[in-house]
Amino acid sequence: MAKRFGFLATLGASATTALGANIPMFNSSFELPVMAPGGFTIAVPPGWVSLSPAVTMGVWNPQTWNAYTPDKYVGAQIGYINEGKLEKRMPSVIKGNSTWALRWKVGRRPGFNGGLTIKFYAGDILMGQQMDTLASLPPDGTFAERSIEFSVPADSPAIGLPVLFTLEKTIGSQANFDDFRLESSDPGPACPADLNEDQAVTDEDFSLFANRYDLVFAEPDGKGDLNFDAFVDDQDFQLFIVQYNILECPQ
């Protein structure tokens, strides 16, 4: 991912006003797999993709560790990275004259001082990034809101490209994070994995996708080619499975 296009509007602490559509995101708050209090995994969280050979990352239920009080994060679990880089691929595409916001929470585990660099892409075009420093991290034992926000003009080269973002620990020994949310004023197709257009992504859609996958090259109607690269391949399957796990299409 090399190209960058300067649409960035705001970085840092997020505004509270929603832009419009809240785009479904599987395992956005790292509640899967379910762990007992104090438990953690050393594996790529379900619904996320590792971009590094080192997989010292996972989900963590911090109860009993005295690192945070439960009111500081969402749900029972959070995500962590000691080493490595994660990617989240979303079932949406960039459209012109649209605004976007990626929001999340970053935590500061006492004694670990870990911070993230998060980059938001349309295809391989970098739309914006946010990097925490030691000085910008919240106080020990707390979480703080972060965001990346940008607008896309009508003539943007990013139009039609799939949405994704990456997380990489860039300072400290462990980065903690939670509650990712993606909002857009016009997120493109709300349910591109709904191949039979019945407002749900079910086994029937899975069968239709498998048929397109076997063909490799996308058909003229484009169904199954969720990242618009003229192929129906493993990258499309990663996008398909996100909506298959959610089941119902957003209204």
| Same-domain pairing of 103 and 129 | yes
| Same-domain pairing of 248 and 207 | yes
| Same-domain pairing of 177 and 238 | no
| Same-domain pairing of 118 and 233 | no
| Same-domain pairing of 69 and 111 | yes
| Same-domain pairing of 56 and 76 | yes
Average pLDDT value for residue range 183-198: 78
Q: What local confidence, expressed as pLDDT, does residue 221 receive?
A: 67
| Same-domain pairing of 85 and 157 | yes
| Same-domain pairing of 37 and 90 | yes
Q: SS in 3 state form for the chain?
A: CCEECCCEEEEECCCCCCCCEEECCCCCCCCCCCCCCCCECCCCCCCCEECCCCCEEEEECCCCCCCCCHHHCCCCCEEEEEECEEEEEEEEECCCCEEEEEEEEEECCCCCECEEEEEEEECCEEEEEEECCCCCCCCCCCEEEEEEEEEECCCCCCCCCEEEEEEEEEECCEEEEEEEEEEECCCCCCCCCCCCCCCECCHHHHHHHHHHHHHCECCCCCCCCCCCCCECCHHHHHHHHHHHHHCECCC
Query: For residue 133, what is the domain's CATH number?
Result: 2.60.120.260
Number of domains in the chain: 2
Report pLDDT digits (tens) over 125-155: 999 999 999 999 999 999 999 999 999 998 9
| Same-domain pairing of 32 and 117 | yes
Domain final residue pick, 150, 166, 184: 184
Query: Does the pLDDT value for residue 10 go beyond 80?
Result: no
| Same-domain pairing of 53 and 117 | yes
Domain final residue pick, 164, 184, 204: 184
Domain final residue pick, 134, 159, 184: 184
Per the structure, the complete domain to which residue 205 belongs is given by: 189-251
| Same-domain pairing of 244 and 149 | no
| Same-domain pairing of 123 and 94 | yes
Residue 251: band (very low, low, confident or very high) from pLDDT cuts 50, 70, 90: low
